[in-house]
Structure 1
């Protein structure tokens, strides 16, 4: 690829990379392309070497293979389902009824009239309370009359097909959808003695969403407690072992409700229920739309269990292939997402490893530079200390008194130096012990170095000299400190033999013992 075919960002990355590595453009372009044009990763791999297996290339190869397998699987599934669904798609989609999503609304709180209307309605309220009290007293004295009147008026309020009027939905206390479902299941099992049905313990909207999300069939059962066929329908059809086994084996979401409850009544209205008992099978219908939930079959009235199972079986068989195709497509999409996630994780792991190697390399370089800097500073400090020591010796050598003549108030001191040589020097009796130390420290020092002496004032500023030796007498052993206040005459008399002993050798303990004595 020529440089003209690269984008501005890629050319900038190539220029930055070649400026650091000085690699030829062709090889640099190939390495940058393998590193997704990440300059930092490319530089790291140039110096550290490329890994044996590129995680990005490996993930891309796995993704390509998986996609090819998924395309083949989808092609086979489409070939299997196209022949079975092509002839019935147009007719079945026309027969499908959309399944609405019903969410029950909480009852609105009654608004109390203001003060003016309260005064206007006060006589009617008093009359109503008196009438209610008289009716309650009358019903208490003649308890058979309310039941007789209810039996007389109940046929007048029945809906077509045996359904009760909407007033029955207001006779029960309103609960949440989950509590309403639990109450229905409990009453169903207590009144009919039927157990084992996998009722969905939640609202109709939650059951519909579950069936839509997991591509399952939803069986909605609506019952009317006032219908004559309800008890027989529950005991003979719903409680039949074949029906229970069919619902469990097909993993059908089973939701039921009584139209005496507000939610079930709203569902019956939305599903256009005209006769009870009522059952509707709902599922996802991709032939209608990508998100459609439709009623695929209705079972109305008292139905034998064999017929009930046959109708459900036929409806499930007619729409299973479409759901299988959707499941296959969703599985392929999930596999694609998983592969992309795995590729991203592999790429991020590669970036993290390269970043970690770069960080370790930078840390090692920083530590090496710091060590070199410290070594240079230590050498410079040692060299300056040697220069300051030499300057002090020149200065101290100049300040020493010249050796006095023999006789008079002098002290002859014989010194055995550290290298074994013997030096004899006379001092006046008024000289200090420090003068002897200074003489020993400046033996062999040239004090007339004019070029070096020019730097002495600057070098000696703030300098504190410490002697690296001590003067010791042999018999008996005694250490003489340079900081003693006594003079040479007071300490040594007329003559003495001393040994120059480096500091740190054996004899420190003896010196401390002598001083304690």
Structure 2
């Protein structure tokens, strides 16, 4: 009842706005006319959602129910028909229009009506999309209070030629009912006076632009503005302003020739900017990847240098420790040679029973002869040879070595064995040489308190070959590698 009482005031307000707008007379904004007394869509059930997407989707589904048609995208679901390349979106095909049956068949059905694909969102989002993507916008507003709206929905919005024409030229179609908040707001901004209402809008050059395009006789602007190009409102009969024939004729002969060249230039500019953006992104990614690889190389080089430096320092420390340990060992041996070696060499006997005559051949070729008793030990042999291999004058210790003391007692051969153990050396490394019987070749290893009379082949004398430990180990290594040589030259007994 309230809607019936208020309706005459809205009619009068709409007439006044139309007259003043035609005469270009500024009109005060009477906010009482913006009061929405219309019953919202959705009935008296649950409170309707005022989300723009939900409102638009609800209106589109209501439109499909009223007209028995389907939006183009839903009509093509499950269809094997493909859209012809000559009717692709974005082209301005204004030549011979196809028949209704062909159009319906192209979208999947020759019997069911089709509707445009409406943009689901708010009116402001529609304007922003048209401006951002340089599309032609088609704004459809209806009010069920008007008798012409039902015919408009059944005939104009489902006209296959109109729908195909808008789809072919990539129109962005938005619609709403003035009983909803978005529809009412759009009607106020577009100064709608009656329904149904259709408006076309698109980007156009700003006034005062100086760049001129000779092919279209239009002025291009670096900052185009979104402009309402035409308004169509009222009856949708065969010759009415919102009839499909009138709208198709307007789009074909007026709207597209006017805006298509300019929009194509804008789209071309958008594509170029998008291409430049992608190229910059690819370049940035390439630079970032190159920088990452360079950083990885630098990090790897730094790490390699660090590891090499650590390895070098570790090797230097090891060598220093080995040198220090070798110097410690040599000092122990030097002090022992200076203080205790001579005490382990028994005096050479002049005569006596069972004397042993031993001939030595040194590594430098010298030959020595020594008379020993059977009760003398192997230590006496090694000490005697050591005095000739390392004489007292070359022990390598300071002149005050007499004041130095060995770290363990040096009395007898047990003291010598303790020094060898203290030096962490085996007997061969301590002496630096080995003794061998010349024939048959037999190793005479050092051990404390081993009597000469108990050594087979030496109890009646013989020839002993002296070889440095390094040479002996080298010969053994070569023999282990597969050689059959015995590692020494045979000598005749003297």
Deviations 1:455-477 (A, max 9, x none): 9799x998555424444557787
- Equivalent of 1:168 in 25, 30, 39: 39
Deviation, structure 1 residue 481: 4.0
Contact 1:412 1:424 in 2 (8 A): yes
Deviations 1:188-214 (A, max 9, x none): 112101222212233333333322221
Aligned length: 359
What stretches of structure 2 of length at least 5 have no aligned partner? Answer: 16-32, 73-115, 208-221, 237-241, 408-421, 481-494
- Match status 1:180 vs 2:55: yes
Equivalent residue, structure 2, for 1:300: 233
Distance in 2 (CA, whole Å) between partners of 1:356 and 1:209 is 45
- Match status 1:327 vs 2:327: no
Structure 1 length-normalised TM: 0.54
Deviations 1:168-190 (A, max 9, x none): 13764421222222222211112
Equivalent residue, structure 1, for 2:133: 214
Equivalent residue, structure 1, for 2:446: 482
Equivalent residue, structure 1, for 2:165: 246
Contact 1:211 1:217 in 2 (8 A): yes
Q: Residue 295 of structure 1 aligns to a residue in which SS?
A: strand
Deviation, structure 1 residue 287: 0.9
Cα RMSD for the two superposed structures: 4.9
Residue 496 and residue 283 in structure 1: after superposition, are their counterparts in 2 closer, same or farther (change >3 A)? Answer: farther
Deviations 1:344-383 (A, max 9, x none): 6677777778777777877787788788878888887887
Residue 346 and residue 201 in structure 1: after superposition, are their counterparts in 2 closer, same or farther (change >3 A)? Answer: closer
- Match status 1:405 vs 2:352: no
Contact 1:393 1:441 in 2 (8 A): no
Residue 370 and residue 180 in structure 1: after superposition, are their counterparts in 2 closer, same or farther (change >3 A)? Answer: closer
The higher-RCO structure (CA 8 Å, 6+ apart) is 1
Residue 453 and residue 276 in structure 1: after superposition, are their counterparts in 2 closer, same or farther (change >3 A)? Answer: same
Distance in 2 (CA, whole Å) between partners of 1:453 and 1:413 is 34
Residue 445 and residue 476 in structure 1: after superposition, are their counterparts in 2 closer, same or farther (change >3 A)? Answer: closer
Deviations 1:300-343 (A, max 9, x none): 12222121123334234323343334334444545555666666
Contact 2:335 2:397 in 1 (8 A): no
Contact 2:36 2:179 in 1 (8 A): no
Q: How does 1:184-199 map to 2 (within 5 A)?
A: 184-195=59-70, 196=72, 197-199=116-118
Residue 426 and residue 453 in structure 1: after superposition, are their counterparts in 2 closer, same or farther (change >3 A)? Answer: farther
Deviation, structure 1 residue 251: 0.8
Contact 1:396 1:438 in 2 (8 A): no
Deviation, structure 1 residue 166: 2.6
Equivalent residue, structure 2, for 1:311: 250
Residue 416 and residue 241 in structure 1: after superposition, are their counterparts in 2 closer, same or farther (change >3 A)? Answer: same
Deviation, structure 1 residue 167: 2.7
Equivalent residue, structure 2, for 1:90: none
Which shows bigger deviation, 441-450 or 298-307? 441-450
- Match status 1:425 vs 2:370: yes
- The structure richer in helix per residue is 1
Equivalent residue, structure 2, for 1:114: none
Q: How does 1:72-471 map to 2 (within 5 A)?
A: 154=4, 157=7, 159-160=10-11, 166-169=37-40, 172=43, 173-175=47-49, 176-195=51-70, 196=72, 197-287=116-206, 290=223, 292-301=225-234, 302=236, 303-313=242-252, 314-334=254-274, 337=277, 394-398=334-338, 399-401=340-342, 402=345, 404-406=347-349, 407=351, 412-417=357-362, 423-426=368-371, 432-449=377-394, 453-454=398-399, 464-466=424-426, 467-468=428-429, 469-471=433-435
Deviation, structure 1 residue 411: 5.5
Q: Residue 173 of structure 2 aligns to a residue in which SS?
A: strand
Residue 481 and residue 170 in structure 1: after superposition, are their counterparts in 2 closer, same or farther (change >3 A)? Answer: same
Residue 496 and residue 266 in structure 1: after superposition, are their counterparts in 2 closer, same or farther (change >3 A)? Answer: farther
Deviations 1:220-251 (A, max 9, x none): 21122332222211121111111111111011
Contact 2:337 2:395 in 1 (8 A): no
Contact 2:136 2:172 in 1 (8 A): yes
Contact 2:348 2:372 in 1 (8 A): no
Structure 2 length-normalised TM: 0.56
Larger Rg: 2
Distance in 1 (CA, whole Å) between partners of 2:384 and 2:324 is 23
Deviation, structure 1 residue 449: 4.5
Equivalent residue, structure 1, for 2:113: none
Distance in 1 (CA, whole Å) between partners of 2:451 and 2:393 is 29
Residue 351 and residue 194 in structure 1: after superposition, are their counterparts in 2 closer, same or farther (change >3 A)? Answer: closer
